[in-house]
Structure 1
Amino acid sequence: MTAEAPSAPALSHGRLMPVTVHFDDLDALGLLHNARYPLLVERAWAEWMQAVGVAFDGDWAAAGDACNAVKELRLTYEAPVTRPGPYTVHLWLDRLGTTGLTYAFRFCSADGSVTYARGSRVLVRLDATTLRPAPWTEGFRNAARELLRPDA
């Protein structure tokens, strides 16, 4: 009797976004440097934002929902990444408020079956002129609901 390879977990919410770890992302011990995890997660989030039509082209006044700032970042490392190559970031929303949101993530193997790190990031949508909190647009809110955890 042969053992079957473990299958990727079924996603009940969120989306898997592919990312690539490069050789120069590794530290002197050959581990993914701790500062690279948030960077790779940010790239996955930015790719999702672009896919739903939110992008920054250099004009903050016209940036709309792309004009936002990180209020909080939490990250827990669970297992070391020891090789360059394809990985994935599992993204989902824990909260979608009027001017802020909390997206959670797992940095995982390419198939999503192994979790290397997990965390969350709180973003606040800003008015480009005042830099005060501003409401997310209805278009963004509609797109973001695809990532909302069912019990959130």
Structure 2
Amino acid sequence: MTAEAPPAPALSYGRLIPVTVHFDDLDALGLLHNARYPLLVERAWTELWQDRGVRFEGDWAAAGDACNAVRELRIGYEAPVTRPGTYAVHLWLDRLGTTGLTYGFRFCSADGAVTYARGSRVLVRLDAGTLRPAPWSEAFRAAARELLRPAG
């Protein structure tokens, strides 16, 4: 007889995206290397948007809302990840502007119960021709609103 895993805590906002930490993501001390956290968050963010039809397929002019750049990244490390396996990234939006957005994230256990790192990242939507800020499409904005963290 096997014991059932406890239920995952319910998320009141955002999405929990599974990610995998591999053995070669660990540093010489056996800890998840600090540079891997943003990489794993980026992979989770990319997966979330690809599932909603926003993707880059090699052509910036056709990329639409996927043509964006990072303006700022902040991350704080709370507890070490000491072994390979399945974890998760909790993603949400803190702000959705005309040409930019700020999303928050937590690198956490697969069930979302334990937080290892948290942070935020500011993205700016770009016009592919000029590389100047451009407005998000209405389709993107509608999908993004579902990720907004409630005020308070």
Aligned to 1:94: 94
Partner letter of residue 126 of structure 2?
Answer: L
TM value normalised by structure 1: 0.95
CA contact (8 A) 1:7 1:113 kept: no
Aligned to 1:18: 18
Aligned to 2:147: 147
Aligned to 1:136: 136
Partner letter of residue 31 of structure 1?
Answer: L
CA contact (8 A) 1:67 1:125 kept: yes
CA distance in 2, matches of 1:117, 1:131: 31
Q: Per-residue deviation at 1:8? A: 3.3
CA distance in 2, matches of 1:89, 1:68: 21
Aligned to 1:60: 60
Deviations 1:16-73 (A, max 9, x none): 0000000000000000000000000000000011011000011011110000000000
CA distance in 2, matches of 1:59, 1:15: 28
Q: Per-residue deviation at 1:9? A: 2.7
Helix, strand or coil at the partner of 1:64 = helix
Partner letter of residue 33 of structure 1?
Answer: H
How many residues are matched? 149
Aligned to 2:103: 103
Aligned to 1:75: 75
CA contact (8 A) 1:60 1:128 kept: yes
Residues 115-126 of structure 1: pairs in structure 2 closer than 5 A: 115-126=115-126
CA distance in 2, matches of 1:118, 1:8: 19
Q: Which runs of 5+ in 1 are unaligned?
A: none
Q: Which runs of 5+ in 2 are unaligned?
A: none
| Sequence identity percentage | 84
